[in-house]
Protein backbone atom coordinates (compact mmCIF):
# COMPACT_ATOMS: atom_id res chain seq x y z
CA UNK A 1 0.00 0.00 0.00
CA UNK A 2 1.34 3.41 -0.98
CA UNK A 3 0.76 5.75 1.98
CA UNK A 4 -1.57 8.67 1.28
CA UNK A 5 -1.14 11.80 3.38
CA UNK A 6 -4.74 12.68 4.14
CA UNK A 7 -4.33 15.83 6.21
CA UNK A 8 -2.07 17.80 8.52
CA UNK A 9 -2.43 18.46 12.23
CA UNK A 10 -0.89 21.75 13.27
CA UNK A 11 0.18 21.99 16.86
CA UNK A 12 0.76 19.27 19.43
CA UNK A 13 -0.64 15.78 18.92
CA UNK A 14 -1.33 13.92 22.19
CA UNK A 15 -2.45 10.31 22.50
CA UNK A 16 -3.78 9.26 25.91
CA UNK A 17 -3.41 5.53 26.50
CA UNK A 18 -1.15 3.11 24.66
CA UNK A 19 -2.86 -0.25 24.85
CA UNK A 20 -3.49 -2.50 21.87
CA UNK A 21 -5.50 0.17 20.02
CA UNK A 22 -2.96 2.91 20.69
CA UNK A 23 -0.11 0.72 19.46
CA UNK A 24 -2.04 -0.06 16.28
CA UNK A 25 -3.05 3.56 15.68
CA UNK A 26 0.50 4.92 15.93
CA UNK A 27 1.80 3.54 12.60
CA UNK A 28 -1.37 4.67 10.80
CA UNK A 29 -0.85 8.21 12.07
CA UNK A 30 2.75 8.13 10.91
CA UNK A 31 1.71 6.87 7.48
CA UNK A 32 -1.21 9.16 6.78
CA UNK A 33 -1.08 12.36 8.83
CA UNK A 34 1.45 15.17 8.53
CA UNK A 35 2.49 16.46 11.93
CA UNK A 36 5.55 17.67 13.77
CA UNK A 37 7.04 14.56 15.43
CA UNK A 38 8.65 16.76 18.05
CA UNK A 39 5.22 17.66 19.41
CA UNK A 40 3.80 14.10 19.48
CA UNK A 41 3.30 12.87 23.05
CA UNK A 42 1.83 9.64 24.40
CA UNK A 43 0.52 9.77 27.97
CA UNK A 44 0.64 6.27 29.42
CA UNK A 45 1.35 5.30 33.05
CA UNK A 46 2.71 1.87 32.06
CA UNK A 47 6.31 1.90 30.85
CA UNK A 48 6.10 -1.47 29.05
CA UNK A 49 6.20 0.07 25.57
CA UNK A 50 8.60 2.94 26.24
CA UNK A 51 11.13 1.41 23.85
CA UNK A 52 8.61 1.25 21.03
CA UNK A 53 7.71 4.91 21.54
CA UNK A 54 11.36 5.96 21.66
CA UNK A 55 12.05 4.09 18.42
CA UNK A 56 9.11 5.90 16.80
CA UNK A 57 10.45 9.28 17.97
CA UNK A 58 7.42 9.89 20.19
CA UNK A 59 7.70 11.48 23.62
CA UNK A 60 6.44 9.27 26.46
CA UNK A 61 4.86 11.05 29.41
CA UNK A 62 4.59 8.30 32.04
CA UNK A 63 1.86 9.61 34.29
CA UNK A 64 -1.61 8.46 35.34
CA UNK A 65 -4.19 11.17 34.71
CA UNK A 66 -6.56 11.89 37.61
CA UNK A 67 -9.25 14.50 38.29
CA UNK A 68 -6.65 16.32 40.39
CA UNK A 69 -3.83 16.56 37.83
CA UNK A 70 -5.78 16.56 34.54
CA UNK A 71 -5.76 20.31 33.94
CA UNK A 72 -2.13 20.80 34.92
CA UNK A 73 -0.79 17.97 32.76
CA UNK A 74 -2.90 18.62 29.66
CA UNK A 75 -2.74 22.44 29.62
CA UNK A 76 1.05 22.33 29.72
CA UNK A 77 1.07 20.41 26.42
CA UNK A 78 -1.08 22.95 24.54
CA UNK A 79 0.29 26.47 25.03
CA UNK A 80 -1.25 28.12 21.95
CA UNK A 81 -4.80 26.77 21.33
CA UNK A 82 -3.83 24.33 18.57
CA UNK A 83 -3.50 20.60 18.24
CA UNK A 84 -5.43 17.39 18.93
CA UNK A 85 -6.02 14.86 21.68
CA UNK A 86 -6.73 11.23 20.73
CA UNK A 87 -8.11 9.62 23.87
CA UNK A 88 -7.69 5.81 23.78
CA UNK A 89 -7.50 5.32 27.52
CA UNK A 90 -9.49 3.63 30.24
CA UNK A 91 -10.20 5.27 33.59
CA UNK A 92 -9.79 8.85 32.32
CA UNK A 93 -13.00 10.88 32.52
CA UNK A 94 -13.97 11.79 28.96
CA UNK A 95 -16.39 14.57 29.88
CA UNK A 96 -13.84 16.49 31.97
CA UNK A 97 -11.29 16.07 29.21
CA UNK A 98 -13.75 17.25 26.53
CA UNK A 99 -14.62 20.37 28.54
CA UNK A 100 -10.92 21.14 29.03
CA UNK A 101 -10.26 20.76 25.30
CA UNK A 102 -12.96 23.35 24.59
CA UNK A 103 -11.23 25.78 26.93
CA UNK A 104 -7.89 25.10 25.26
CA UNK A 105 -9.29 25.21 21.70
CA UNK A 106 -7.97 21.70 21.04
CA UNK A 107 -9.51 19.05 18.76
CA UNK A 108 -10.58 15.88 20.54
CA UNK A 109 -11.78 12.36 19.84
CA UNK A 110 -12.39 9.21 21.85
CA UNK A 111 -13.83 5.75 21.26
CA UNK A 112 -16.06 5.64 24.35
CA UNK A 113 -17.44 8.00 26.99
CA UNK A 114 -15.16 6.87 29.78
CA UNK A 115 -15.94 7.72 33.43
CA UNK A 116 -13.36 8.08 36.17
CA UNK A 117 -12.55 4.91 38.19
CA UNK A 118 -15.26 3.58 40.48
CA UNK A 119 -18.09 3.69 37.96
CA UNK A 120 -17.91 0.12 36.63
CA UNK A 121 -16.91 -2.09 39.56
CA UNK A 122 -17.34 -1.74 43.30
CA UNK A 123 -19.84 1.08 42.84
CA UNK A 124 -22.97 1.70 44.88
CA UNK A 125 -24.48 3.71 42.01
CA UNK A 126 -27.91 2.26 41.03
CA UNK A 127 -27.82 0.18 37.86
CA UNK A 128 -29.98 2.66 35.94
CA UNK A 129 -27.27 5.26 36.47
CA UNK A 130 -24.52 2.86 35.38
CA UNK A 131 -25.90 2.70 31.86
CA UNK A 132 -24.51 4.57 28.86
CA UNK A 133 -27.72 6.54 28.39
CA UNK A 134 -27.08 9.09 31.18
CA UNK A 135 -23.41 9.33 30.17
CA UNK A 136 -24.46 10.19 26.63
CA UNK A 137 -27.05 12.69 27.86
CA UNK A 138 -24.32 14.40 29.91
CA UNK A 139 -22.13 14.55 26.82
CA UNK A 140 -24.93 16.05 24.72
CA UNK A 141 -25.70 18.63 27.42
CA UNK A 142 -22.03 19.57 27.63
CA UNK A 143 -21.88 19.93 23.86
CA UNK A 144 -24.77 22.37 23.86
CA UNK A 145 -22.58 24.72 25.90
CA UNK A 146 -20.01 24.92 23.07
CA UNK A 147 -21.79 25.37 19.72
CA UNK A 148 -19.26 25.90 16.98
CA UNK A 149 -16.41 25.10 19.35
CA UNK A 150 -13.37 22.99 18.59
CA UNK A 151 -14.48 19.70 17.10
CA UNK A 152 -14.92 17.00 19.75
CA UNK A 153 -15.84 13.57 18.36
CA UNK A 154 -17.48 11.35 20.93
CA UNK A 155 -17.36 7.56 20.67
CA UNK A 156 -15.69 6.85 17.34
CA UNK A 157 -13.84 3.61 16.75
CA UNK A 158 -15.13 0.61 14.81
CA UNK A 159 -18.27 0.48 16.91
CA UNK A 160 -19.35 2.96 17.85
CA UNK A 161 -18.00 4.80 14.82
CA UNK A 162 -17.44 2.92 11.57
CA UNK A 163 -20.76 1.05 11.86
CA UNK A 164 -22.67 4.35 11.65
CA UNK A 165 -20.90 5.13 8.38
CA UNK A 166 -21.57 1.63 7.05
CA UNK A 167 -25.24 1.99 7.98
CA UNK A 168 -25.63 4.96 5.65
CA UNK A 169 -24.00 3.02 2.81
CA UNK A 170 -26.27 0.08 3.58
CA UNK A 171 -29.39 2.26 3.38
CA UNK A 172 -28.34 3.57 -0.01
CA UNK A 173 -27.61 0.02 -1.17
CA UNK A 174 -31.01 -1.18 0.07
CA UNK A 175 -32.73 1.73 -1.69
CA UNK A 176 -31.02 0.84 -4.97
CA UNK A 177 -31.77 -2.87 -4.62
CA UNK A 178 -35.46 -2.28 -3.90
CA UNK A 179 -35.89 0.21 -6.73
CA UNK A 180 -36.40 3.26 -4.54
CA UNK A 181 -35.20 6.31 -6.42
CA UNK A 182 -33.43 8.53 -3.93
CA UNK A 183 -30.59 10.98 -3.65
CA UNK A 184 -28.13 10.82 -0.81
CA UNK A 185 -29.78 12.62 2.13
CA UNK A 186 -28.04 15.79 3.25
CA UNK A 187 -29.23 15.99 6.83
CA UNK A 188 -30.41 13.97 9.79
CA UNK A 189 -34.10 14.33 8.91
CA UNK A 190 -33.45 13.05 5.40
CA UNK A 191 -31.64 9.95 6.62
CA UNK A 192 -34.37 9.19 9.14
CA UNK A 193 -37.07 9.49 6.48
CA UNK A 194 -35.08 7.23 4.15
CA UNK A 195 -34.86 4.51 6.78
CA UNK A 196 -38.56 4.86 7.55
CA UNK A 197 -39.50 4.77 3.86
CA UNK A 198 -37.44 1.61 3.32
CA UNK A 199 -39.34 -0.10 6.12
CA UNK A 200 -36.29 -0.87 8.24
CA UNK A 201 -37.55 -1.88 11.69
CA UNK A 202 -34.24 -2.28 13.43
CA UNK A 203 -30.48 -2.62 13.24
CA UNK A 204 -28.11 -5.07 14.87
CA UNK A 205 -24.46 -4.17 14.98
CA UNK A 206 -23.69 -7.82 14.28
CA UNK A 207 -20.13 -9.03 14.87
CA UNK A 208 -18.45 -12.43 14.75
CA UNK A 209 -14.82 -12.73 15.87
CA UNK A 210 -13.28 -16.09 14.87
CA UNK A 211 -9.61 -15.40 15.60
CA UNK A 212 -7.81 -18.25 17.38
CA UNK A 213 -4.37 -18.96 18.76
CA UNK A 214 -2.47 -22.24 18.46
CA UNK A 215 -1.88 -22.05 22.22
CA UNK A 216 -4.64 -23.22 24.54
CA UNK A 217 -6.06 -20.54 26.81
CA UNK A 218 -4.46 -20.81 30.26
CA UNK A 219 -7.01 -21.37 33.03
CA UNK A 220 -7.38 -18.19 35.03
CA UNK A 221 -6.32 -15.88 32.20
CA UNK A 222 -8.85 -13.67 30.44
CA UNK A 223 -8.00 -13.73 26.73
CA UNK A 224 -9.43 -11.26 24.24
CA UNK A 225 -8.56 -9.78 20.84
CA UNK A 226 -8.80 -6.21 22.13
CA UNK A 227 -8.78 -4.45 25.52
CA UNK A 228 -9.71 -6.87 28.31
CA UNK A 229 -10.46 -3.97 30.65
CA UNK A 230 -12.65 -2.36 28.01
CA UNK A 231 -14.73 -5.49 27.47
CA UNK A 232 -15.13 -6.20 31.16
CA UNK A 233 -16.17 -2.66 31.99
CA UNK A 234 -18.83 -2.34 29.28
CA UNK A 235 -19.83 -6.00 29.48
CA UNK A 236 -20.77 -5.73 33.14
CA UNK A 237 -22.80 -2.59 32.69
CA UNK A 238 -26.51 -3.34 32.25
CA UNK A 239 -27.61 -4.48 28.80
CA UNK A 240 -28.93 -1.52 26.83
CA UNK A 241 -30.52 -0.93 23.44
CA UNK A 242 -32.23 1.67 21.32
CA UNK A 243 -35.97 1.05 21.52
CA UNK A 244 -37.99 1.13 18.30
CA UNK A 245 -41.42 2.65 17.80
CA UNK A 246 -42.75 -0.72 16.55
CA UNK A 247 -41.94 -2.60 19.78
CA UNK A 248 -44.97 -3.86 21.71
CA UNK A 249 -43.53 -5.79 24.65
CA UNK A 250 -40.94 -4.68 27.17
CA UNK A 251 -38.45 -7.48 27.90
CA UNK A 252 -38.28 -9.04 31.38
CA UNK A 253 -36.38 -6.73 33.74
CA UNK A 254 -36.59 -4.01 31.09
CA UNK A 255 -36.86 -0.33 32.03
CA UNK A 256 -37.23 2.93 30.13
CA UNK A 257 -35.80 6.37 30.85
CA UNK A 258 -37.87 9.41 31.82
CA UNK A 259 -35.44 12.10 30.60
CA UNK A 260 -33.67 13.05 27.40
CA UNK A 261 -34.75 11.69 24.03
CA UNK A 262 -36.09 8.45 25.58
CA UNK A 263 -34.60 6.57 22.65
CA UNK A 264 -33.42 3.60 24.71
CA UNK A 265 -34.21 1.04 27.38
CA UNK A 266 -32.01 -0.94 29.74
CA UNK A 267 -32.28 -4.45 31.14
CA UNK A 268 -31.40 -5.15 34.75
CA UNK A 269 -28.74 -7.76 33.97
CA UNK A 270 -25.20 -7.51 32.58
CA UNK A 271 -24.76 -7.26 28.83
CA UNK A 272 -22.47 -10.29 28.76
CA UNK A 273 -25.27 -12.31 30.38
CA UNK A 274 -27.93 -11.11 27.91
CA UNK A 275 -28.06 -12.91 24.57
CA UNK A 276 -30.01 -12.34 21.37
CA UNK A 277 -30.44 -14.21 18.13
CA UNK A 278 -28.64 -12.49 15.28
CA UNK A 279 -27.01 -13.21 11.94
CA UNK A 280 -23.57 -12.78 10.34
CA UNK A 281 -22.17 -14.02 7.03
CA UNK A 282 -20.09 -17.17 7.30
CA UNK A 283 -21.63 -18.23 10.59
CA UNK A 284 -25.21 -17.48 9.59
CA UNK A 285 -27.60 -17.56 12.58
CA UNK A 286 -25.77 -16.97 15.84
CA UNK A 287 -26.25 -15.65 19.35
CA UNK A 288 -24.80 -12.31 20.35
CA UNK A 289 -24.15 -10.57 23.66
CA UNK A 290 -26.11 -7.35 24.19
CA UNK A 291 -23.11 -5.32 25.32
CA UNK A 292 -24.04 -1.67 25.83
CA UNK A 293 -22.51 0.63 23.22
CA UNK A 294 -23.05 4.25 22.30
CA UNK A 295 -24.08 3.41 18.73
CA UNK A 296 -27.14 1.51 19.97
CA UNK A 297 -28.36 4.78 21.45
CA UNK A 298 -27.08 7.27 18.88
CA UNK A 299 -28.40 5.34 15.86
CA UNK A 300 -31.89 4.99 17.33
CA UNK A 301 -31.83 8.68 18.24
CA UNK A 302 -30.41 9.89 14.92
CA UNK A 303 -32.98 8.03 12.81
CA UNK A 304 -36.00 9.09 14.84
CA UNK A 305 -38.91 10.82 13.08
CA UNK A 306 -40.80 12.78 15.69
CA UNK A 307 -39.86 13.14 19.34
CA UNK A 308 -40.43 11.85 22.81
CA UNK A 309 -41.36 8.41 24.09
CA UNK A 310 -43.80 7.71 21.22
CA UNK A 311 -42.30 9.11 18.00
CA UNK A 312 -43.71 8.52 14.53
CA UNK A 313 -40.73 6.29 13.71
CA UNK A 314 -37.69 5.02 15.53
CA UNK A 315 -35.62 1.88 14.87
CA UNK A 316 -34.54 -0.60 17.48
CA UNK A 317 -30.76 -0.84 17.62
CA UNK A 318 -28.41 -3.03 19.63
CA UNK A 319 -24.94 -4.50 19.59
CA UNK A 320 -25.06 -8.29 19.08
CA UNK A 321 -21.49 -9.38 19.77
CA UNK A 322 -20.07 -12.86 19.36
CA UNK A 323 -16.47 -12.53 20.59
CA UNK A 324 -13.57 -14.87 19.93
CA UNK A 325 -13.72 -18.47 21.23
CA UNK A 326 -11.14 -17.78 23.96
CA UNK A 327 -13.12 -14.73 25.07
CA UNK A 328 -16.30 -16.78 25.38
CA UNK A 329 -14.46 -19.26 27.59
CA UNK A 330 -12.97 -16.41 29.62
CA UNK A 331 -16.41 -14.93 30.25
CA UNK A 332 -17.74 -18.30 31.38
CA UNK A 333 -14.87 -18.52 33.85
CA UNK A 334 -15.39 -14.99 35.22
CA UNK A 335 -19.14 -15.51 35.57
CA UNK A 336 -18.63 -18.81 37.35
CA UNK A 337 -16.05 -17.44 39.77
CA UNK A 338 -17.82 -14.13 40.34
CA UNK A 339 -14.39 -12.47 40.36
CA UNK A 340 -12.49 -10.27 37.95
CA UNK A 341 -9.55 -12.05 36.32
CA UNK A 342 -6.11 -11.80 37.86
CA UNK A 343 -4.34 -12.38 34.54
CA UNK A 344 -5.21 -10.76 31.20
CA UNK A 345 -3.90 -11.35 27.70
CA UNK A 346 -4.63 -9.78 24.31
CA UNK A 347 -4.02 -12.02 21.30
CA UNK A 348 -1.40 -10.41 19.08
CA UNK A 349 -1.19 -10.61 15.33
CA UNK A 350 1.83 -12.93 15.67
CA UNK A 351 0.13 -15.62 17.77
CA UNK A 352 -3.23 -15.74 15.95
CA UNK A 353 -3.13 -18.60 13.45
CA UNK A 354 -6.56 -18.33 11.80
CA UNK A 355 -9.84 -16.46 11.69
CA UNK A 356 -10.92 -12.88 11.31
CA UNK A 357 -13.59 -10.41 12.28
CA UNK A 358 -16.90 -9.84 10.49
CA UNK A 359 -18.33 -6.54 11.70
CA UNK A 360 -21.31 -4.89 10.11
CA UNK A 361 -24.90 -3.75 10.41
CA UNK A 362 -27.88 -6.09 10.04
CA UNK A 363 -30.88 -4.10 8.80
CA UNK A 364 -34.10 -6.06 9.26
CA UNK A 365 -37.85 -5.83 8.67
CA UNK A 366 -37.72 -4.30 5.18
CA UNK A 367 -39.03 -5.70 1.89
CA UNK A 368 -36.00 -7.95 1.36
CA UNK A 369 -36.02 -9.37 4.89
CA UNK A 370 -32.62 -8.67 6.36
CA UNK A 371 -29.39 -7.21 4.98
CA UNK A 372 -25.96 -7.57 6.58
CA UNK A 373 -23.50 -4.97 5.32
CA UNK A 374 -20.01 -4.66 6.68
CA UNK A 375 -16.30 -5.42 6.85
CA UNK A 376 -14.93 -8.96 6.61
CA UNK A 377 -11.28 -8.83 7.56
CA UNK A 378 -9.04 -11.87 8.13
CA UNK A 379 -5.96 -12.02 10.32
CA UNK A 380 -3.79 -12.61 7.23
CA UNK A 381 -5.19 -9.48 5.59
CA UNK A 382 -4.69 -7.45 8.76
CA UNK A 383 -1.05 -8.58 9.06
CA UNK A 384 -0.38 -7.59 5.45
CA UNK A 385 -2.03 -4.19 5.78
CA UNK A 386 -0.50 -2.71 8.94
CA UNK A 387 1.74 -3.63 11.90
CA UNK A 388 0.85 -4.15 15.57
CA UNK A 389 -2.78 -5.24 15.24
CA UNK A 390 -5.07 -8.16 14.63
CA UNK A 391 -8.26 -8.03 12.54
CA UNK A 392 -10.38 -6.62 15.36
CA UNK A 393 -7.84 -3.95 16.19
CA UNK A 394 -7.40 -2.79 12.59
CA UNK A 395 -11.12 -2.14 12.21
CA UNK A 396 -10.86 0.15 15.25
CA UNK A 397 -7.55 1.89 14.53
CA UNK A 398 -8.45 2.69 10.93
CA UNK A 399 -11.68 4.29 12.17
CA UNK A 400 -9.68 6.37 14.65
CA UNK A 401 -7.50 7.48 11.73
CA UNK A 402 -10.58 8.45 9.71
CA UNK A 403 -12.00 10.43 12.63
CA UNK A 404 -8.71 12.28 13.07
CA UNK A 405 -8.73 13.24 9.39
CA UNK A 406 -12.36 14.41 9.51
CA UNK A 407 -11.76 16.45 12.68
CA UNK A 408 -8.72 18.16 11.15
CA UNK A 409 -10.75 18.99 8.04
CA UNK A 410 -13.76 20.17 10.10
CA UNK A 411 -12.17 21.91 13.10
CA UNK A 412 -15.14 24.00 14.31
CA UNK A 413 -18.05 21.58 14.53
CA UNK A 414 -18.40 21.40 18.30
CA UNK A 415 -19.51 18.08 19.77
CA UNK A 416 -20.39 15.40 17.21
CA UNK A 417 -21.17 11.70 17.10
CA UNK A 418 -20.21 9.36 14.28
CA UNK A 419 -23.74 9.51 12.81
CA UNK A 420 -23.26 13.23 12.16
CA UNK A 421 -19.97 12.92 10.28
CA UNK A 422 -19.49 12.66 6.51
CA UNK A 423 -19.70 8.90 6.11
CA UNK A 424 -18.34 8.95 2.56
CA UNK A 425 -15.19 10.86 3.51
CA UNK A 426 -14.57 8.73 6.59
CA UNK A 427 -14.94 5.47 4.69
CA UNK A 428 -12.73 6.81 1.91
CA UNK A 429 -9.93 7.08 4.47
CA UNK A 430 -10.74 3.80 6.23
CA UNK A 431 -11.72 1.47 3.40
CA UNK A 432 -8.18 0.33 2.43
CA UNK A 433 -7.91 -1.31 5.87
CA UNK A 434 -11.28 -3.08 5.99
CA UNK A 435 -10.71 -6.15 3.86
CA UNK A 436 -13.88 -6.90 1.91
CA UNK A 437 -16.98 -4.72 2.29
CA UNK A 438 -19.82 -7.11 1.54
CA UNK A 439 -23.61 -7.06 1.36
CA UNK A 440 -25.57 -10.22 2.21
CA UNK A 441 -29.34 -10.63 2.08
CA UNK A 442 -30.95 -13.39 4.14
CA UNK A 443 -34.44 -14.75 4.68
CA UNK A 444 -33.56 -15.56 8.29
CA UNK A 445 -35.76 -14.19 11.08
CA UNK A 446 -35.41 -14.67 14.85
CA UNK A 447 -38.26 -17.20 14.64
CA UNK A 448 -36.15 -19.44 12.37
CA UNK A 449 -34.21 -22.51 13.49
CA UNK A 450 -35.33 -22.63 17.13
CA UNK A 451 -34.42 -25.93 18.77
CA UNK A 452 -36.16 -25.07 22.04
CA UNK A 453 -38.79 -22.71 23.36
CA UNK A 454 -38.41 -23.05 27.08
CA UNK A 455 -39.96 -20.17 29.04
CA UNK A 456 -39.65 -17.82 26.09
CA UNK A 457 -41.72 -14.80 25.28
CA UNK A 458 -42.54 -14.70 21.59
CA UNK A 459 -44.76 -12.87 19.14
CA UNK A 460 -45.62 -15.02 16.13
CA UNK A 461 -47.58 -12.19 14.54
CA UNK A 462 -44.47 -10.08 13.99
CA UNK A 463 -41.06 -11.79 13.76
CA UNK A 464 -39.19 -8.52 14.22
CA UNK A 465 -40.32 -7.83 17.78
CA UNK A 466 -37.35 -7.64 20.17
CA UNK A 467 -38.76 -10.39 22.40
CA UNK A 468 -38.32 -12.81 19.48
CA UNK A 469 -34.60 -12.03 19.37
CA UNK A 470 -34.09 -12.37 23.13
CA UNK A 471 -32.79 -15.72 24.34
CA UNK A 472 -34.05 -16.97 27.71
Domain spans of the chain?
7-154, 162-392+434-469
Q: Tens of pLDDT along 64-84? A: 999 999 999 999 999 998 999
What pTM was estimated for this model as a whole?
A: 0.97
Q: What local confidence, expressed as pLDDT, does residue 1 receive?
A: 61
Domains 7-154 and 162-392+434-469 share a fold: no
Sign for the CA dihedral angle at 329, 333, 339, 345 comes to negative
Q: Which of 136, 169, 128, 172 is nearest to 155 (CA)?
A: 136
Q: What local confidence, expressed as pLDDT, does residue 356 receive?
A: 98
**What is the SS3 assignment for 181?**
coil
Q: What local confidence, expressed as pLDDT, does residue 118 receive?
A: 83
Q: Which of 110, 146, 150, 140 is nearest to 403 (CA)?
A: 110
Quick one: fold of 162-392+434-469? Dihydrodipicolinate Reductase; domain 2 (3.30.360)
Element (H, E) at 395: helix 391-409
Pairing of strands 356-366, 369-378: antiparallel
> 28-46 burial, b for 16+ CB within 10 Å, e for fewer?
bbeebbebeeebbbbbbee
Q: What local confidence, expressed as pLDDT, does residue 124 receive?
A: 85
Where would I find the H helices in 182-318?
188-198, 228-235, 294-302
**Who contacts 350 (Cβ-Cβ below 8 Å, separation ≥6)?**
none
Ranges in the chain, pLDDT < 50: none
For domain 7-154, the CATH class is: alpha beta
Q: Which of 181, 185, 227 is nearest to 419 (CA)?
A: 185
Q: What local confidence, expressed as pLDDT, does residue 450 receive?
A: 79
Amino acid sequence: MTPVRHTRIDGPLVMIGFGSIGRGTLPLIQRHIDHDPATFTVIEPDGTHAGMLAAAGVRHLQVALTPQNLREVIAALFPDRRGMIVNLSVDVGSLDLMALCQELGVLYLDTVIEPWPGFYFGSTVPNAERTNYPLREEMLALGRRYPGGATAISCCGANPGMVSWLLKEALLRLAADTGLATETPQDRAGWARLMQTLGVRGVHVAERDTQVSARARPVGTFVNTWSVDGLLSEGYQPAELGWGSHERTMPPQGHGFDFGSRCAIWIDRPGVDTRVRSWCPGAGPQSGLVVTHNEALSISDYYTVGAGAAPEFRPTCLYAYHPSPDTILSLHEVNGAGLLPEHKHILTEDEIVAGGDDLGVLLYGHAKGALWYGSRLTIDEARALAPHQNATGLQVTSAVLAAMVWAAENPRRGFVEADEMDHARCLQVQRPYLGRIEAHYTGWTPLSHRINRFAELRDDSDPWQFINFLLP
